[in-house]
Chain A
Amino acid sequence: MKALGPILAVVAAIITLWYAAAVPMNIQEVLTQAERGGAVVDPEGAMTRRDVSRFALVLRNTEHLSESWSMERARLPAPHQVVKELWVSTWDEEVNGRRGIVKSGSLSNRSLIYHGSITLGATIIGFLIGSGLGILLAVGIVHSKTMDMSVMPWAIVSQTIPIVALAPMIIVVLYSIGVEGLLPKAVISAYLSFFPVVVGMVKGLRSPDAMQTDLLRTYGASKPQALWKLRLPASVPYLFASLKIGIAASLVGAIVGELPVQRGGLGARMLGGSYYGQTEQLWAALFFAAALAAILVWLIGWIERRTLRRMGVTP
């Protein structure tokens, strides 16, 4: 494990930077609280301090900084506060909480596991729809010049629209025809994840060289035979590269789809935390989502390795 040292160094650097940043970020609230507790702060009065730069405040009040990393509703909570919140809102809530799975038999609606599972459901369904659609579109694009020219530009345009602007419209439109709940979020997920799959699969399906396609011509192979025996197997490595991007995009889509609805999910948790100044909750939800994405991408990588080994492509 020669790589372990550098990896730990990077992690340590990030954590150090985070702790350091928390001091100027929280200085206003720290000083206000200290002043309320009877300490003498320079300058006096929260209103006056508002016009003084954060760094100047830090330098002029070094003796009052002890609270910087333990503020409630800190502007930037310290890493250990976020870790604690992660623990409290996952294990602690489910195992010890009144509404947790141990005592009530169902996941607590205050736990990230509950919200994460809601997001995960929408992510998986959106990913399946998106990648399925992407593969079908790619097959069409490779086989038909007309589809290549008519679908590809729209697929590209679709990705230039900011999803946060589009997501509420999708939800409203689907709601008006009676579709709500999981499906609108899955649609947004699919919308984000089909594109990398289309691009990767088109490239993969076109990856066999002229010699390979000539060989099939000498056998008088039909187009479906060429697709099944040559193009699809040849595209597998490309497909997996796209699926990794696609599943991460799916998760983002599901989270964005939860923002305007506020009926559970990591997106709802994040927006709730942001509304009510529950920054620890916000950050914990963020990290939970990141971990979920990492697991999903790793899972695709694992399936990829197994598939390629089974195909015999790699030792």
Chain B
Amino acid sequence: MTQAPVISAAHLDLTFQTNDGPVHALRDVSLDIAKGEFVSFIGPSGCGKTTFLRCIAGLEEPTGGTLTVNGMTPDQARRSRAYGYVFQAAGLYPWRTIGGNVRLPLEIMRFSKEEQAERVKRTLELVDLAGFEKKFPWQLSGGMQQRASIARALAFDADILLMDEPFGALDEIVRDHLNEELLKLWDRTGKTIGFVTHSIPEAVYLSTKIVVMSPRPGRITDVIESTLPRERPLDIRDSAEFIAIAHRVRDGLRAGHIDD
């Protein structure tokens, strides 16, 4: 690919000043993400994977190095609505219907009324929630709520989707299902996805690129380009290729731990 990377980090550092002294959340993190890639960040808690995602989103300010999103600073990218962000909890507003929740970013970004209605309908169909527009969040299961929150992140058609352990709180069956759905969605929309997880099978199943990180200080220990095909049925997880990649991820995680 000769295209310029969508997200480009070079020697990124982030140090939090706490009462117990400085905490190195990120040290010397360099990574390029090309358009249309599905990149997973995996590592034990405290490895800086969420922090890195928040830096891309402009929610945290790196203390060193350079980071560009769509060729802009993360803050400019945030203001130009370059990405949709999905948090660990669905975080839907209980006083808004599902449709109302998906409409929230559209209202804030001042889309026209017709455009809002059209986009709400389209994105709810995209996450298989057509017909639930008038329901309130408490009427939906946890998995459906998380799908609604993905629809909310997709509604304004940002090219980048950043997801911070979106399925971490869900049970495994729902999670498998949503993983499959997410791959289809990615395939259909061609978005660039940054995905934080602590599940090895999830990372291997979803990604074109797996970034293994380790803590104290948070850094990248391995970047694995997946050799799996784009088309991935759930049973691909039993293939030798899948197991080999999972093995390499596990090795990378273990190597990070020995450093402690």
Contact = CB atoms under 8 A, between A and B. Distances in A.
Interface in A98-154: none
Interface string A204-223: 00000001101111111100
A219 B95 CA distance: 19
A66 interface: no
Given A229-B108, A312-B136, A218 B93 contact: no
Nearest to A312: B136
Contacts of B91: 211-212, 215
Interface in B63-109: 78-79, 81, 83-85, 87-89, 91, 93-97, 104-105, 107-109
A221 B85 contact: no
Nearest to B83: A218
B16 interface: no
Contact of A218 (B84, B96, B97, B136): B84
Interface size class of B (residues with CB under 8 A): 20 to 34
A221 B108 contact: yes
A220 B108 CA distance: 8
A227 to B, nearest CB: 12
Contact of A233 (B95, B97, B105): B95
A217 B74 CA distance: 12
Nearest to B85: A218
Given A211-B87, A312-B136, 17 more contacts: A211-B89, A212-B91, A214-B85, A215-B91, A217-B78, A218-B59, A218-B84, A219-B104, A219-B105, A220-B78, A220-B81, A220-B108, A225-B108, A229-B108, A233-B93, A311-B95, A312-B96
Interface of B: 57-59, 78-79, 81, 83-85, 87-89, 91, 93-97, 104-105, 107-109, 136, 138, 156
24 contacts: A211-B88, A211-B91, A212-B91, A214-B59, A214-B85, A214-B87, A215-B85, A215-B87, A215-B91, A217-B58, A217-B78, A219-B109, A219-B156, A229-B104, A229-B107, A229-B108, A233-B95, A236-B95, A311-B95, A312-B94, A312-B97, A313-B94, A313-B95, A315-B138
